[in-house]
Amino acid sequence: QSVLTQPPSVSGAPGQRVTISCTGSSSNIGAGYDVHWYQQLPGTAPKLLIYGNSNRPSGVPDRFSGSKSGTSASLAITGLQAEDEADYYCQSYDSSLSAHYVFGTGTKVTVL
């Protein structure tokens, strides 16, 4: 089980805003380590969505935004679209783990 906990699923109607939380602790997010986010469409490789807590790579729509506060981080999707239906993972570093680089448990976003 990952040290970064995400809700298993979130859903919203087209056009709505949804948020995905990534809850950690004082040995990872709370220690100041950056959080990155990935989108994984069904049957495909993950794709970088947000890096360094809130930065979007070129080509990622500004409907996606990231933030971090305390021991948690969040990914927000505004103006939800059908093509946003996917799994989303946060990623950070944990100083208490030998694995060091850890992914969150993953969240399935469903567009109603």
Among the listed ranges 15-23, 51-59, 60-68, 78-86, the one in contact with another protein (CB under 8 A) is 51-59
Select 58 or 83, whichever has its Cβ closest to another protein: 58
Work out which of 19, 25, 47, 67 binds another protein, going by CB under 8 A: 47
- Which 64-103 positions form the footprint of another protein (CB under 8 A)? 89, 91-93, 97-103
Burial label for 89, CB within 10 Å (0-12, 13-18, 19+), is buried
Under rule CB under 8 A, residue 51 binds another protein: yes
H/E/C letters for each residue in the chain? CCCCECCCEEEECCCCCEEEEEECCCCCHHHCCCCEEEEECCCCCCEEEEECCCECCCCCCCCEEEEEECCEEEEEECCCCHHHCEEEEEEEECCCCCCCEEECCCEEEEEC
The residue (of 13 and 98) whose beta carbon lies closer to another protein is 98
**Cβ-based nearer residue to another protein, 16 or 55:** 55
Binding site for another protein (CB under 8 A): 2, 33-34, 36, 38, 40, 45-48, 51-52, 57, 89, 91-93, 97-106
